[in-house]
Amino acid sequence: MTDLEPVTDLKPGPDGLLRCAWGESTDDYRHYHDTEWGKPVHGEDPLFERICLEAFQSGLSWITILRRREGFRAAFAGFEIAKVAAFTEQDEARLLQDTGIIRNRLKIAAAVANARAAQALDGGLDALVWQFAADPERPAPRTLAEVPAVTPESTALAKELKRHGFKFVGPTTAYALMQACGLVNDHLAGCHAR
Structural domains of the chain, ranges and CATH numbers in brackets: 44-181 (1.10.340.30)
* pLDDT tens-digit readout, 13-63: 999 999 999 999 999 999 999 999 999 999 999 999 999 999 999 999 999
Q: How far apart are CA 36 and CA 22, in angstroms?
A: 14
Check residue 136 and give its pLDDT.
Answer: 85
The answer to whether 154 touches 161, Cβ cutoff 8 Å, is: no
Q: How far apart are CA 44 and CA 101, in angstroms?
A: 22
Closest by alpha carbon to 22, among 54, 58, 62? 62
Q: How confident is the model at residue 8 (pLDDT cuts 50, 70, 90)?
A: low
Buried b (16+ CB within 10 A) or exposed e, 155-184: bebbebbeeeebbbbbbbbbbbbbbbbbbb
Q: How confident is the model at residue 6 (pLDDT cuts 50, 70, 90)?
A: very low
The C-alpha angle 118, 121, 125, rounded to 5 degrees, equals: 60
Mean pLDDT of 170-185: 97
For 12, the 3-state DSSP assignment is: strand
Question: What single-letter amino acid sits at 137?
Answer: E
- Say if residue 192 carries a ligand binding annotation: no
- pLDDT > 70 fraction of the chain, expressed in percent and rounded: 96
The answer to whether 114 touches 107, Cβ cutoff 8 Å, is: no
Look at 2 and 173; give whichever has higher pLDDT: 173
Check residue 177 and give its pLDDT.
Answer: 97
Q: How far apart are CA 90 and CA 86, in angstroms?
A: 11
Mean pLDDT (the chain) is: 94
- Say if residue 191 carries a ligand binding annotation: yes
The answer to whether 126 touches 42, Cβ cutoff 8 Å, is: yes
* pLDDT tens-digit readout, 17-31: 999 999 999 999 999
Please identify every residue annotated as catalytic: 32, 54, 62
- Say if residue 33 carries a ligand binding annotation: yes
Q: Residue 104, Cβ neighbours under 10 Å: how many?
A: 18
pTM of the model: 0.93
